[in-house]
């Protein structure tokens, strides 16, 4: 029940309101009364009502001053002013203070109840929004922590005891008989469309569908990776079940992906491992065969058990056509950490005997150079811009002394293009991301701030915004919003003596316990400890 507190100096009016409303029947608790603001204030501090009903004109402390003090202590309290006709000039002050509503005297119980029920509905709706926003915030924070732990797991950067302990805290069940890694990515069939990161709506929808499928499955965990790659960790309680999980996942991924005819899909599957400390090895296996996707123009599934990095048969293919297609594929979706494995495979595909020829190496350098220049022009770079990025062909001519020099030149050239790709993507989405950041900075103290709200402001779908924001900023929406809020909170902790709960409220956290918990999690200390360390 919502608690109501009444402050009225006219005893007849006060008793009438108190006794002529069936408070409990109407869904309220009458929590207390006082005859003036001075008496009321300490009682309100103790009772903490949800709704305050107060007269304006009272001895010692009037209703407006009381409202101002109470609002400072309890920013979310709802206040109803009882006003006479001759007191209407105080309305502007009441609005500035944050009074919710007013009633002209004399007051009937039906008038009062109508106002109270309307306020109660608003409180319920507000609390529901807060609860939803808090749940989403906590869920996104949890997912971010889970992604970090998964990254440690596949990189072998933490002890098993730490992994298991953190996994338990993050609701990640990592105890199993068998483990397996599966990697997945989609890209447009026409790769030049994706050179600067179009983040196709089709791809976003497909990833969302796959995520919904995984959410309903035991033994499959999904983690988003950079470069629009999804990683799946398969866990089975028996060694026989891992193949069933794998088949089910691959069937579902293919079924969903094939609905989007303009997209290609690629899947890399590592071998099953029987110890948690070997998950990184399954990940490495999946990654090694997954890198073959740059050589492909058709959707494909790669199994490490049946394929090795040197297994791709490209014999008989026209080299001139092959290398341009492969380069376009890699420059479309490849990441810098995949460059070396791509180049090894790329040069291997050209044939060891061919690479001994200086003339053939000159052909490679020339072809790679003009391929990337043409590709940059396809995505609206001018010829001058493309030449500035790639440098002079004379640099390529200097790299023909031996194969290693040629490889180094090609590697550096592709790195330049990948840097340019990243810069073009920033320019493409820069305006949208900047608008979103400015909106967040202007409205960070809105406790209802959500990803959907910001996505609507920049006029894109929530899923599309979420994908682009994380790819372009390196952090998800909640992480960015949290960092903005906590920076403002830290500034207030350093420069004011305001209560921690007030500061939390000011930066968008109505629940003081959640604010303190989040602050400690991010900053490694409580708000009180932070303030203590910054005194003087």
Q: Please indicate, yes or no, whether residues 328 and 294 belong to a single structural domain of this protein.
A: no
Q: Please indicate, yes or no, whether residues 258 and 334 belong to a single structural domain of this protein.
A: no
Average pLDDT for 65-69: 91
Positive or negative torsion for Cα 522, 525, 527, 533 = negative
Q: Please indicate, yes or no, whether residues 245 and 323 belong to a single structural domain of this protein.
A: no
Q: Please indicate, yes or no, whether residues 185 and 286 belong to a single structural domain of this protein.
A: yes
**Which percentage of the chain shows pLDDT scores above 90?**
29
Tokens 């949290």 sit on residue? 482
Q: Please indicate, yes or no, whether residues 89 and 185 belong to a single structural domain of this protein.
A: no
Q: Please indicate, yes or no, whether residues 305 and 265 belong to a single structural domain of this protein.
A: yes
Q: Looking at per-residue confidence, does 226 or 275 come out higher? A: 275
What are the two backbone dihedrals, phi and then psi, of residue 32, each rounded to the nearest 5 degrees?
A: 155, 170
CB-CB contact of 507 with 467 (8 Å) = no
Q: Which of 8-17, 152-161, 513-522 has the lowest mean pLDDT?
A: 152-161
Average pLDDT for 339-344: 86
Is there a domain that residue 114 lies in? Answer: no
How far apart, in whole angstroms, are the C-alpha atoms of residue 88 and residue 85? 6
Give the pLDDT of residue 308. Answer: 55
Q: Looking at per-residue confidence, does 476 or 23 come out higher? A: 23
Order of strands, sheet of 78-83, starting from the edge strand that comes earlier in the sequence: 28-34, 2-7, 51-55, 78-83, 101-104
CB-CB contact of 512 with 500 (8 Å) = yes
Order of strands, sheet of 263-269, starting from the edge strand that comes earlier in the sequence: 220-225, 229-236, 178-188, 263-269, 300-303
Is there a domain that residue 141 lies in? Answer: no
Q: Please indicate, yes or no, whether residues 218 and 323 belong to a single structural domain of this protein.
A: no
Q: Please indicate, yes or no, whether residues 318 and 260 belong to a single structural domain of this protein.
A: no
Q: Please indicate, yes or no, whether residues 390 and 468 belong to a single structural domain of this protein.
A: no
Is there a domain that residue 120 lies in? Answer: no
Helix (H) or strand (E) holding 101: strand 101-104
Tokens 């960092």 sit on residue? 483
Examine the pLDDT at 317 and tell me if it is beyond 50.
no
> What is the band of 450 on the pLDDT scale with cuts at 50, 70, 90?
confident
Is there a domain that residue 145 lies in? Answer: no
Is there a domain that residue 367 lies in? Answer: yes
Q: How many domains are contained in the chain?
A: 4
Is there a domain that residue 338 lies in? Answer: yes
Neighbours of 146 (CB within 10 A): 18
Q: Which residues, in sequence order, are CB contacts of 88 under 8 Å at separation 6+? A: none
Average pLDDT for 61-79: 88
Last residue of a domain, one of 408, 443, 478: 443
| 493 prior amide bond cis, ω within 30 | no
Q: What CATH number should be reported for the domain holding residue 222?
A: 3.30.70.270
Per-residue tokens: 297: 């123009």
Q: Please indicate, yes or no, whether residues 257 and 274 belong to a single structural domain of this protein.
A: yes
- Express each pLDDT in 112-142 by its tens digit: 999 999 999 999 988 887 787 778 777 877 8
- Express each pLDDT in 25-58 by its tens digit: 999 999 999 999 999 999 999 999 999 999 888 8
Give the pLDDT of residue 89. Answer: 66
Last residue of a domain, one of 391, 415, 443: 443
Q: What CATH number should be reported for the domain holding residue 76?
A: 3.40.50.2300
Last residue of a domain, one of 395, 425, 443: 443
Give the pLDDT of residue 88. Answer: 59
Is there a domain that residue 52 lies in? Answer: yes
Is there a domain that residue 91 lies in? Answer: yes
CB-CB contact of 57 with 63 (8 Å) = yes
Give the pLDDT of residue 214. Answer: 92
Q: What CATH number should be reported for the domain holding residue 457?
A: 1.10.10.60
- Express each pLDDT in 486-500 by its tens digit: 999 999 999 998 888
Q: Which of 243-252, 371-380, 403-412, 527-536 has the lowest mean pLDDT?
A: 371-380
- Express each pLDDT in 260-280 by its tens digit: 888 899 999 999 998 888 899
Give the pLDDT of residue 536. Answer: 46
Give the pLDDT of residue 86. Answer: 59
Q: Please indicate, yes or no, whether residues 180 and 306 belong to a single structural domain of this protein.
A: yes
Tokens 């629940």 sit on residue? 511
Domain that holds residue 244: 176-310
- From the list 20, 26, 22, the residue with the least C-alpha distance to 1 is 26
Q: Please indicate, yes or no, whether residues 325 and 439 belong to a single structural domain of this protein.
A: yes
Give the pLDDT of residue 254. Answer: 95
């Amino acid at each position: 029940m919502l608690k109501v507190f009444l402050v009225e100096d006219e005893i007849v009016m006060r008793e009438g309101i108190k006794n002529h409303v069936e408070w409990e029947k109407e869904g309220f608790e009458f929590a207390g009364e006082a005859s003036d603001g001075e008496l009321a204030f300490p009682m309100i501090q103790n009772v903490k009502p949800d709704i305050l009903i107060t007269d304006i004109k009272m001895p010692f402390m009037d209703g407006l001053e009381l409202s101002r003090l109470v609002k400072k202590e309890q920013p979310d309290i709802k206040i109803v002013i009882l006003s006479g006709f001759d007191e209407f000039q105080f309305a502007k002050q009441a609005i500035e203070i944050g009074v919710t509503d007013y009633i002209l005297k004399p007051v009937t119980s039906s008038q009062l109840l109508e106002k109270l029920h309307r306020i109660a509905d608003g409180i319920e709706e507000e609390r529901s929004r807060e609860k939803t926003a808090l749940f989403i915030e906590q869920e996104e924070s949890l997912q971010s922590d889970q992604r970090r732990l998964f990254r440690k797991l596949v990189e072998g950067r933490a002890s098993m005891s730490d992994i298991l302990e953190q996994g338990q805290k993050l609701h990640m069940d990592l105890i199993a008989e068998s483990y397996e890694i599966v990697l997945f990515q989609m890209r447009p069939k026409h790769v030049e469309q994706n050179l600067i990161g179009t983040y196709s709506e089709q791809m976003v929808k497909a990833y969302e569908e796959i995520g919904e499928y995984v959410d309903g499955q035991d033994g499959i965990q999904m983690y988003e990776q950079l470069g629009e790659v999804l990683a799946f960790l398969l866990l089975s309680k028996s060694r026989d079940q891992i193949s069933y999980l794998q088949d089910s996942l691959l069937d579902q991924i293919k079924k969903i992906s094939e609905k989007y005819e303009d997209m290609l899909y690629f899947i890399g599957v590592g071998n099953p491992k029987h110890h948690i400390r070997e998950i990184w090895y399954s990940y490495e296996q999946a990654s090694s065969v997954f890198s073959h996707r740059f050589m492909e123009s058709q959707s494909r599934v790669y199994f490490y058990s049946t394929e090795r990095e040197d297994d791709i048969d490209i014999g008989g293919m026209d080299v001139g056509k092959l290398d341009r297609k492969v380069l376009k594929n890699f420059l479309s979706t490849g990441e810098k950490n995949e460059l070396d494995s791509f180049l090894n495979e790329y040069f291997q595909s050209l044939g060891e005997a061919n690479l001994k020829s200086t003339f053939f190496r000159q052909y490679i350098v020339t072809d790679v150079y003009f391929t990337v220049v043409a590709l940059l022009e396809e995505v609206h770079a001018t010829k001058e811009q493309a030449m500035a990025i790639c440098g002079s062909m004379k640099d390529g001519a200097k790299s023909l002394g031996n194969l290693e020099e040629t490889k180094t030149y090609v590697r550096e050239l592709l790195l330049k293009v990948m840097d340019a790709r990243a810069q073009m993507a920033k320019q493409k989405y820069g305006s949208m991301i900047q608008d979103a950041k400015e909106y967040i900075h202007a409205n960070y103290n809105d406790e209802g701030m959500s990803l959907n709200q910001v996505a609507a402001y920049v006029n894109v779908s929530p899923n599309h915004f979420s994908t682009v924001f994380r790819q372009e900023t390196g952090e998800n929406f909640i992480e960015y919003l949290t960092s903005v809020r906590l920076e403002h909170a830290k500034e207030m902790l350093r420069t004011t003596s305001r209560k921690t709960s007030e500061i939390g409220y000011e930066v968008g956290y109505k629940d003081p316990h959640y604010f303190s918990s989040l602050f400690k999690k991010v900053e490694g200390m409580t708000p009180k400890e932070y303030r203590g360390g910054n005194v003087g």
